Structure 1
């Protein structure tokens, strides 16, 4: 199997992550229509608990495994890389069993006494069997990422989401048609995670068999150092790396878990239980799914950059480390911003088109705007992990989460749900700033330099034009019905925002001609023609 470059690997993972995220959003639309915001609150609580425990179950080992495997392969120690992988597999099987038990038996207590939604218990328990497989799937994905072969993980994500979506929607519909209440329909939707896990596992097994056949010709004699590499030594290396990585990777799932745990208790005294639960349903069912779209590329970069930077760092190639770091950070900002702008200015029509009404539009726009800082937090944290600097970033994540908790309690009374969302943005900002300052001490990266002025100017113009256009379209009334009107307005506003972005960025200096060569080929070709036309126009 061939190794993927940073750009190719990023494109593969980004495409898979985008498809998976798109299918996740598609899943939320029929579920929200069937379950309502109240039912989506129970489903969202279950999913956020599961997502957090999944990271705890794997203990960050996939990222640690990716780093160790890439380093061993870079040094020609193939047998050591294979032994590390086999040891990680045993760990995944053990922790999968333990975490399944935690979900099955701990769900009633958490739902009743912490999240204050007893209906969420069965939804959590319905997801529990997926925990048997997902730690193992995560380990296998980490191994293939360490080999810089991203297609396996990408395809497994896609098939996982397809089965998850189909199962969730069909089971929720059938359960409601049989006369059961929303609580059981939410549990049926949660069970989609189990069938998704089965699909992903089958894909990874197929790639494992292909790799085994392809790698048989490149087996090497076990080195002296390899013979001394005992299992307890392997676990010591894995845990030394994985515990910090796990804590770093838990930042976003932990934020969502915190929200699932505190939104109802904090809002209930001011809004009542029903309104508080409905607000949580909007946050988990609408806002979190849409706000998760812009960081897709950052997630792909985070997975791709760790083995690439680790490999260069192991060779003491500091120039390559600096170049890849600058490239990853720049791509993260420049690719995430237009999607954020489009989603924010078109939040109302998107909400109407997908979910049938405009409830929670402000929540969607507010949470999505803060995802720019999430993107930078995740990408800079991934680079630090690639450099083996995982101790201090753990403290940075802890500081960010402390800010999230403290300010959620401080701001909820004057600002309600927006105070809780502001605390989330502050968490991202604090962690991002600490990461970037630490990274500056290790790598001479260059993010945008003076390009920031052009980027800010382009952002202000796009936001102003997009909001004005959306308000003008909204003033014409509801001619085609709520959903079709929302679709039309969202398409017009979104296309306008994204279409203005490259032109304004180039005109105002946010993107320079020499940056274009790092873009994907179709966009590079399009912008290259635009630049030539501009230059020929000035020459005339």
Structure 2
């Protein structure tokens, strides 16, 4: 049973990682196809869609997983099926309401984003069109998510993993093939190509949902047998069931919304802010688009680091519930060590190699000079976003959800205020620094309450990370030297893109060689390896 659970968890983690990697890779050909103006239009649609998707599902997929797992363990398989049925009804209603809201709000949102009197960029009609097309995905994604939660709660991770990958693959194929056909075969407008890309969320959702339905109907006899033979088939009151479920759900949705909210603040304010200081709409949209592209690169190391670090969070919750405070402190230290070990070198690498990496990934057509500079400033976000995600999860693990929400609200207010304050003085860097200020305040707020509740000491943690900081410094010097020598050695006649490609690859390889080569000898890394072995041994027992 344990090996089956571990295997299933591996499949689900691998599927999530594959999905994220695919979600990063397809942006490269897509931006080559539609450019920064097209990507800005795409971003306008996906920003409010992401928020409404989080609200419409209200964290229920993960909550359903927790709920089903609990009652299956108690031998009551009937409750899980009842929850699935009524949860589907709830998600269908929620999806329809969210779809209707986004579809009807499209003209209002478009007018916030675009000045109808400035013809240099995307039009209000363009933005309204793509927002309405992406809204159709809300009809299917929430219902699909609840099905995934049911399978995960039943310790059957394979269907969710397969559905996740199929959804992403179908979506990306539809985006790229549809966009290429629209532009190059039918000579259609950029707006239509981006519209196809946003509608792909619905097509991918349908594909992922069909996979789950097929698996469910194939297993229906086994599921029915489990239900009929379970020793405790007591039915629960529907209202009490949903009350318990929403209690589980609220913490899951809190952190999931924070980063999208910060990103949407930029999406909805940047155009107007830069126009107010003399930029034309197309210039403001280029900045808006480039900041979004830089965020994608920054989020790659964040997703990898938090995937490792968050695996320790359930242990923190369990140990706190049992009153094992020292174990909680130890697990927090381990989580922070993993996070810093993965994100800090990535952040420094992006800072040093910002311009060649941005040019290598997004090409010469997508404002490489501007994008490279913004990426260098945004690189520290890899550490900040990961720190926020983990400290927020720890706050949930120690039942400080209300204080967590308050800290997030403080951060959002500061983000909005500093966006308006900084753009007029430091231009393109303003929204980035405003993001840092908002998140850092939320992180400090979280750490203060973690320290108070657990008597956790930050100074000893920093002492354990001294070796990592020193190693990152050595790696950064090595990367800078290799970058300098490579650019000096490469001929000017080689072309900007080729120079950027070779500089990035050679410098990244040198940095990884130094970091991993020396890092494997550090006490922190050896300590993490011992933890991993200890966990394996305890599972084997």
Q: Do they fold alike, i.e. is TM over 0.5? A: yes
Q: Hey, what does 1:472 align to over in structure 2?
A: 485
Q: Structure 1 residues 309, 514: closer, same or farther in 2, change over 3 A?
A: closer
Larger RCO of the pair (alpha carbons < 8 Å, separation 6+):
1
Matched, 1:452 2:459: no
**Is the CA contact (8 Å cut-off) linking 1:326 and 1:445 kept in structure 2?**
no
Partners in 2 of 1:73 and 1:312 — Cα distance?
22
Q: Structure 1 residues 115, 378: closer, same or farther in 2, change over 3 A?
A: farther
Q: Hey, what does 2:429 align to over in structure 1?
A: 418
Q: Hey, what does 1:138 align to over in structure 2?
A: 145
Q: Cα distance, 1:88 vs. partner? A: 2.5
Q: Hey, what does 2:201 align to over in structure 1?
A: 193
Matched, 1:331 2:338: yes
| Unmatched 5+ stretches in structure 1 | 522-540
**Is the CA contact (8 Å cut-off) linking 2:75 and 2:231 kept in structure 1?**
no
Matched, 1:517 2:530: yes
Q: Hey, what does 1:266 align to over in structure 2?
A: 273
**Is the CA contact (8 Å cut-off) linking 1:79 and 1:222 kept in structure 2?**
no
**Is the CA contact (8 Å cut-off) linking 2:344 and 2:382 kept in structure 1?**
no
Matched, 1:295 2:295: no
1:402-456 Cα deviation digits (max 9, x unpaired): 1211111111111112111111122222222222333344557788452221122
**Is the CA contact (8 Å cut-off) linking 2:451 and 2:457 kept in structure 1?**
no
* Counterpart among 374, 392, 404 of residue 403 in structure 2: 392
Partners in 1 of 2:530 and 2:504 — Cα distance?
31
**Is the CA contact (8 Å cut-off) linking 1:373 and 1:428 kept in structure 2?**
yes
**Is the CA contact (8 Å cut-off) linking 1:370 and 1:425 kept in structure 2?**
yes
Q: Hey, what does 2:256 align to over in structure 1?
A: 249
Partners in 2 of 1:471 and 1:452 — Cα distance?
29
* Counterpart among 434, 440, 446 of residue 429 in structure 1: 440
The aligned length equals 516
Q: Structure 1 residues 218, 480: closer, same or farther in 2, change over 3 A?
A: farther
Partners in 2 of 1:109 and 1:477 — Cα distance?
52
Q: Structure 1 residues 11, 325: closer, same or farther in 2, change over 3 A?
A: farther
Q: Hey, what does 1:403 align to over in structure 2?
A: 414
Q: Hey, what does 1:168 align to over in structure 2?
A: 175
* Counterpart among 514, 522, 532 of residue 500 in structure 1: 514
**Is the CA contact (8 Å cut-off) linking 2:309 and 2:339 kept in structure 1?**
no
**Is the CA contact (8 Å cut-off) linking 1:37 and 1:278 kept in structure 2?**
yes
Q: Hey, what does 2:24 align to over in structure 1?
A: 25
Q: Cα distance, 1:5 vs. partner? A: 6.4
Partners in 2 of 1:184 and 1:278 — Cα distance?
19
Q: Structure 1 residues 82, 335: closer, same or farther in 2, change over 3 A?
A: farther
Q: Hey, what does 2:36 align to over in structure 1?
A: 37
* TM-score for both structures, normalised by structure 1: 0.85
Partners in 1 of 2:281 and 2:165 — Cα distance?
37
| Unmatched 5+ stretches in structure 2 | 116-121, 535-541
* TM-score for both structures, normalised by structure 2: 0.85
More off after superposition, 484-493 vs 380-389: 380-389
**Is the CA contact (8 Å cut-off) linking 2:65 and 2:151 kept in structure 1?**
yes
Q: Hey, what does 2:291 align to over in structure 1?
A: 283
Q: Structure 1 residues 260, 20: closer, same or farther in 2, change over 3 A?
A: same
Q: Cα distance, 1:222 vs. partner? A: 6.7
Secondary structure, counterpart of 2:300 in structure 1: coil
Q: Hey, what does 2:538 align to over in structure 1?
A: none
Q: Cα distance, 1:131 vs. partner? A: 1.0
1:466-511 Cα deviation digits (max 9, x unpaired): 133223322334454444433222111111222222334355x462
Q: Structure 1 residues 385, 9: closer, same or farther in 2, change over 3 A?
A: farther
**Is the CA contact (8 Å cut-off) linking 2:75 and 2:230 kept in structure 1?**
no
Q: Cα distance, 1:275 vs. partner? A: 0.8
Partners in 2 of 1:60 and 1:437 — Cα distance?
26
Q: Structure 1 residues 14, 292: closer, same or farther in 2, change over 3 A?
A: farther
Please give the residue correspondences for 1:71-82 in structure 2 after superposition, counting only pairs within 5 Å: 71-82=70-81
Q: Structure 1 residues 443, 160: closer, same or farther in 2, change over 3 A?
A: farther
Partners in 1 of 2:444 and 2:399 — Cα distance?
19
Q: Structure 1 residues 205, 413: closer, same or farther in 2, change over 3 A?
A: same
Secondary structure, counterpart of 2:379 in structure 1: helix
1:154-204 Cα deviation digits (max 9, x unpaired): 332222221111111111122223232212221111122122112221233
